[in-house]
């Protein structure tokens, strides 16, 4: 792990931001490291855009470490359920896709999954509970110490770069009087409604 990109302080910061240390967060930490190796330490405003293909613990590390955040609009979630994270630089359209290498901890993942499933159905013995905890720790260590090239498949990201976030007009909902982004409203029986009011009106029909 290159110290200038990721140090103990930054890792601790990511754990605090997320609320706990877990294998998913570790994956996000290492994906951020790989992205920062490509693009530098932190994104400036919207200069770097992250496109995440799943919603998981690791996304908190990406937001904390790279500065690509949901609120700024330079973090885009695609609901594909894949542990893959792409980063694009707007200035030169360069993009890199960092996908977790599925084979990396396959065996361990199977064992963990078996215990997690058992926990939900019949519960675990104290010994099994401890084993599961140890596995999670092992997995974190494995991820944190892995070679980035072994942990991830890193390739050029497919284009095109996601469009810049637009500033949209707000309009007032005829029903509740609250303002909502124009593109999120619906016309219904001659009125402009926000999404919750539109859904309510349709249920009542």
What is the binding site for Zn ion (CB under 5 A)?
22, 24-25, 57, 173, 175-176, 194, 197
**Distance, CA of 190 to CA of 192 (rounded, Å):** 7
CB of 23 to Zn ion, least distance (A): 8
Q: What sign results for the dihedral spanned by CA atoms 77, 79, 84, 86?
A: negative
CB of 64 to Zn ion, least distance (A): 13
CB of 188 to Zn ion, least distance (A): 11
Minimum CB distance to Zn ion smaller for 39 or for 83: 83
CB of 72 to Zn ion, least distance (A): 22
Minimum CB distance to Zn ion smaller for 143 or for 173: 173
Minimum CB distance to Zn ion smaller for 142 or for 161: 142
Q: Is 4 exposed, middle or buried (0-12, 13-18, 19+ CB in 10 A)?
A: exposed
Structure tokens given for 197 = 């009011």
Q: What sign results for the dihedral spanned by CA atoms 127, 130, 136, 142?
A: negative
CB of 18 to Zn ion, least distance (A): 6
Minimum CB distance to Zn ion smaller for 114 or for 176: 176
Q: What sign results for the dihedral spanned by CA atoms 9, 30, 24, 67?
A: positive
Minimum CB distance to Zn ion smaller for 22 or for 154: 22
**Distance, CA of 59 to CA of 45 (rounded, Å):** 18
C-alpha 118 chain-centroid distance: 27
**Distance, CA of 202 to CA of 146 (rounded, Å):** 53
């Amino acid at each position: 792990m290159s110290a200038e990109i990721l140090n103990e302080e930054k890792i601790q910061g990511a754990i605090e931001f997320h609320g706990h240390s877990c294998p998913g967060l570790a994956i996000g930490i290492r994906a951020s490291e790989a992205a920062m190796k490509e693009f530098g330490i932190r994104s400036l405003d919207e200069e770097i855009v992250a496109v995440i293909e799943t919603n998981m613990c690791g996304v908190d590390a990406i937001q904390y470490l790279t500065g690509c955040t949901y609120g700024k609009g330079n973090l885009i979630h695609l609901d594909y359920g894949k542990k893959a994270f792409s980063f694009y630089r707007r200035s030169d359209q360069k993009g890199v896709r960092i996908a977790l290498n599925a084979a990396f901890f396959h065996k361990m993942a199977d064992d963990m999954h078996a215990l997690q499933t058992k926990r939900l159905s019949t519960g675990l013995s104290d010994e099994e509970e401890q084993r599961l905890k140890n596995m999670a720790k092992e997995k974190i260590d494995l991820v944190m110490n892995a070679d980035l090239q072994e942990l991830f498949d890193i390739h050029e990201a497919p284009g095109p770069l996601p469009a810049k976030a637009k500033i949209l007009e707000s309009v007032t909902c005829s029903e509740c009087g609250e303002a909502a982004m124009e593109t999120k409203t619906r016309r219904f029986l001659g009125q402009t409604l926000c999404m919750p009011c539109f859904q309510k009106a349709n249920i009542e029909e």
